[in-house]
Chain A
Amino acid sequence: MKKYYQPEIETAPREKILEIQNEKLVKQVKHVWDNVPYYRRLMEEKGLTPDDIKSVDDIYKLPFLSKADLRDTYPYGMLGTDLKDCVRIHSTSGTTGKRVVAFYTQHDLDLWSDCCARAIVAAGGSEEDVVQVCYGYGLFTGGSGLHDGSHKVGCLTLPMSSGNTERQIQFMMDLESTIICCTPSYAAYIGESLKEMGYKPEDNKLKAGIFGAEPWTEEMRQEIEKSLGIKAYDIYGLTETSGPGVAYECEEQKGMHINEDHFYAEIIDPDTGEVLPEGSVGELVFTALDKEAFPLLRYRTRDLCVLSRKPCSCGRTHVRMAKPMGRSDDMLIIRGVNVFPSQIETVLLKEGYTPNYQIVLDRERNTDTFDIYVEVAPDQFSDLMGQIQKMEKGLESAMRTMLGIGPKIHLVPPKTITRSEGKAVRVIDKRKLH
């Protein structure tokens, strides 16, 4: 069985990786300068030209990009190629105001699927395997990322998409899936469903799972491993950089190897933007070294994390990132969906409510629970119970439309939401993920 998908790259000596990065970065900066006027202007504002970037040692000079830039340039402002050269679009789960639309040329899809293929092989995958992909297919990158990676490896690919757990389990059993790819909370849910149906962990043929798109804990990993009888691997990525596969775990399960020949990672101080030395906690920043259509340089992920260049016993030489330990902005990841409190505020005001609310997140049976407490204004109050419950349902549906996931709404009397030093506490996250 192959241990690596692209051994010459995955185990390349550090100097070789650096050489690849230097060469690609110089080329990429030129590509962006020539094709993305928005970024060129940012460079010009700093008095930079492509000649100032001779190697990754110069990368600190380049301006950052953030979600706000992507919003400002929506939809075509970050395009690095002609639209006719693009073959695919994906989009983030976030909705109004926070939408990110990413473009891919065939070259971009190929390098992305290579990244996912590396992750699958690192999890023990080969052409002997049956890979059940139960990430959502569609605009979300999860489904197609792992799907295409699975094809590259030559696995028999089951494009299940998410949901319909009964059918997932039937196919898993009948077609003897050996690798499962989905969000960790869905994996935990499948594990519980199997148990309820009377199956033991050894009754299925699964050996590994590749889980990502939402935060999960070490405890959750152990639980999933036990309930499904598998080894659970973490995978990291974001639509802005391509999708899952930017980094992935090997059998060591000690951090995720970043595909450094395609993505250059930095850790910065989120307040000053200063690059921090290895081992420091800071915000993760990625530069896509060879993507053509959506070539983001120094994109701030808002994920707080640590990098390690310590050699890994798996033989891979690529830098490892720890599980992100939080966010440097107020974004929440709920059941794999990005949610900003500002979106919730927008819905409340639009529906005629006061912006006095509190989000409470918890985990029940390894799935996020999402509750929003909303204070009712005097003119909205009714003595009829049915009327209030109808308001709750109406608000739930408006939230679902805006956020992509449905919270449970609780209407409460005015001035009942916890205030800390006069300021309302907007988010109570009891999930204890970090």
Chain B
Amino acid sequence: MAITQLSVFLMNQPGALVDAIKSISEAGINIRAMSIAEANDFGILRIIVSDSDAVGRLLSEQYLFSRTEVVAAQMNDRSGALYPILVVLNEANINIEYMYAFTGSGPEEAYVVFRVNDVKTAEEVLNANGIRTLSDENLKI
């Protein structure tokens, strides 16, 4: 299952982000979630889009990027909902490299995106504990 995150290498300077987003915007592709990790000279833009193949094609001409498999776990958008998910991952000895979250289209619907060391096990333990995870198919809105 899992979903595809596009990780884009950008310079940490004015104009870098707007240029990268421009083509995605013009192609009419929805960005479902995103985050940026920054260092002094560069940043890594991480995006989840409705059509990662199309965005990959757009970016490939100008950008250095990679496709990364990440786990998107569904949760309720209310207090205390994240904790049990983290407990499940922790008990399976899964290391979380980074994470971010986005809200879904339904009421109280949210998703947490995990970049983990072992995607397959993470999904298995989450699903076994009744936590739904998304696949790329689910993102095509």
Contacts and interface: CB of A to CB of B under 8 A. Distances in A.
Interface residues of B, number: 20
A416 B46 contact: no
Given A412-B42, A416-B11, A385 B64 contact: no
A376 B39 contact: no
Interface string A374-387: 00101001111110
B81 interface: no
B46 A383 contact: yes
Contacts, number: 46
Interface residues of A, number: 17
Contacts of A414: 64
B37 interface: yes
Nearest to B97: A384
B64 A383 contact: no
A388 B115 contact: no
B11 A412 contact: yes
A410 B43 CA distance: 12
Interface in A339-378: 373, 376, 378
B68 interface: yes
A389 B39 contact: yes
A137 B9 CA distance: 45
A43 interface: no
B42 A383 contact: no
Given A381-B9, A384-B97, A411 B46 contact: no
Given A378-B64, A413-B10, A383 B44 contact: yes
Contact of A376 (B5, B9, B98, B115): B9
B44 A385 contact: yes
Contacts of A388: 39, 42, 44
A88 B46 CA distance: 59
A381 B9 CA distance: 8
Contacts of A410: 40-42
Interface string B28-67: 0000000001011110101000000000000000011110
B7 interface: yes
B41 A381 contact: no
B41 A383 contact: no
A383 B11 contact: no
B66 A382 contact: yes
Nearest to B7: A383
A412 B46 CA distance: 17
A382 B5 CA distance: 12
Contacts of B46: 383
A392 B74 CA distance: 36
Q: Which 5 residue pairs across A and B have the least CB separation, nearest first?
A: A383-B7, A410-B41, A383-B68, A413-B9, A385-B37
15 contacts: A381-B7, A383-B5, A383-B46, A383-B66, A383-B68, A383-B115, A384-B97, A384-B98, A388-B44, A410-B40, A412-B11, A412-B41, A413-B9, A413-B42, A413-B63
Given A383-B7, A412-B41, A413-B64, 6 more contacts: A373-B41, A382-B7, A384-B98, A389-B39, A413-B9, A414-B64
